[in-house]
Structure 1
C-alpha cells in the first residue's frame, strides 16, 4: 500500500523534496523536514540508506537530481561539499556525478528506472552520454502528452509507470514499448498531472502526497504494486520480458 506523506505541514508535493531508488533515498535537509524524514524512515530504515541533503542552496532535491540504483546525477549548482557528502553517504557501488547540463532541474527533464530513461528532447548530447554511463540505462528522447519535461509528467519503477492523464493510448503503447513496463495514465494530489511532484517510488515502496485521493491511490497501488514489508532482497533484477499497457 502506498503511503501518504506531507512536507513541512503544508506541502503535498513530496517528490519535489525527495528522491527514492532501490539503493537509497534522499530527503531534503531544509528546516521543517524532520517529520518528512520520519515518514520515509518508518518504511525504509534498516533497508536502504536515507540521506538528508540539499543541492546548491535549494531543498528541492527531487526536482534537481536524478538517480537509480547504479548512480546519481547532480546539477552544476551542487557544491563540492554536497557532492562529497553524498559520495560518503551512499553505497560504494553508486556512482555520483555532477553535470554541466544547462537544464539544471534534472528531475524534471529525466524519468528513468534501472534500465531505461526518457529524457527532454533538448538535453545536451554530453548529458545523454553521462546518463548512459552513470545510471547504466538506455536513453530515449521523448515528450509526454506534448510536454518536454518528461521527468515532471512521468514516474517509473522496474515494475510499472504512471504518466500524464492526457497521454493518448497510442503514445502510452509507444512509451511502454521503450521502457518495457506497463503504464497507466493518472493523477496525484487531487487531479495534479505533475506525477513526479506528488509521487516517489521504487520496486517495493510508494509514497504519495497527502492530498492524493483514494481512487488515485488505488491506481498507484495497481501499477506499482508496493508490498507491505520490505523484500528479502534489496537490489535485484526485476526486469520483466513483457510489455503491457493499462488504459
Structure 2
C-alpha cells in the first residue's frame, strides 16, 4: 500500500517518524490523521515520542527489527518510551543524528564513514547486523539519501554503480531504483516512511516518483 501525506503541511514526513516492520515512533505532536496514515500504510502501531525534546524523530533515530540507535542527546524519559518497544543504544558520537547517518534494514547497515570506532561497535551490537562505512553519491549522511526496507532500496539519482553494488552487498537486496521524491528532491529519506508492507510518501511526490518508489520497494503485491 502507498499513500500520500504531510506532517502539519510539511511533505518531509520521514524527518518526523521512523518505522520498522512492527511499529513506528512518531513526533509527539503529530495529529491523529498523520498517525492513522502511517498505521494504515505500513501496518504498524505508532508510538508518539520526542528525542532531545525535538520532534525530528526520523532524523535522530535509526532502527530495524532488532533494535534502535538513538541520538545521545535523548533524555531518560524519552528513552524509557523507546525501550518499552525495542532495545536501544545511544549514539554519543558528534554525528549523533542517527537517522541521517545510518542506512539500515534487517540485513545490514551502511554508516557515515566519519563515525568513530566505538560508535560503530555500539551500532553493530544494537542493530544486530553487519555495519560497513560508506558514502552514497559522495554524501556521508547515507541515511538521508536512501530509504531501505527488507525488500528494496530507493536511492538518490546521483548514486554510482559502485554505490549500488555496496547497497546490494551490505543490505542484501536486489531491488534498487534511483528516484527523487517530493517533486524532485534528491534526498529520498525525508520524503518517505516505509517497510516491507507499504509506504507513506510526502504529498508533493509525483505519480512518476511514486511508480519508481513502488518498484524500488517491491510494493506491487
Calculate the TM-score normalised by the size of structure 2: 0.94
State the match for 1:2 in structure 2: 2
Q: In 1, are the aligned partners of 2:180 and 2:209 still within 8 Å (CA)?
A: yes
User: For residue 153 of structure 2, what is the aligned residue in structure 1?
Assistant: 161
**Once superposed, what is the RMSD of the aligned Cα atoms?**
1.6
3-state SS of 2:4 partner: strand
Matched pairs, number: 220
1:65 & 1:169 partners in 2: Cα distance? 28
Distance across 2 between alignment mates of 1:87 and 1:170: 36
Cα deviations by residue, 1:11-50 (Å, 9 ceiling, x for unpaired): 00000001010121111112x5332112113345xx5431
CA distance in structure 2 between the aligned counterparts of 1:162 and 1:43, rounded to whole angstroms: 17
Query: Which of 74, 78, 81 lines up with 2:74 in the alignment?
Result: 78
More strand by share: 2
- 3-state SS of 1:151 partner: helix
Does the 8 A contact of 2:38 with 2:44 survive in 1? no
Q: Name the structure 2 match of 1:28.
A: 27
1:143-163, CA deviations, whole angstroms, 9 ceiling, x for partnerless residues?
A: 111111101111111111011
Identify which of 167, 173, 179 aligns with 2:165. 173
Runs of 4+ more than 3 Å apart: none
Separation (CA, whole Å) in 2 of partners of 1:48 and 1:66: 16
Gap runs ≥5 in structure 2: none
3-state secondary structure, aligned to 2:150 = coil
1:1-247 correspondence to structure 2 within 5 Å: 1-8=1-8, 10-30=9-29, 33-43=31-41, 48-88=44-84, 90=85, 94-182=86-174, 183-226=176-219
The CA distance in 2 between the partners of 1:193 and 1:25, in whole Å, is 24
Q: Tell which structure's C-alpha radius of gyration is larger.
A: 1
- Counterpart Cα distance in 2 of 1:134 and 1:21: 14
Structure 1 unaligned residues grouped into runs of 5+: 229-247
For residue 227 of structure 1, report the CA deviation from its aligned partner. Answer: 6.1
Return 211-220 or 198-207, whichever deviates more. 198-207
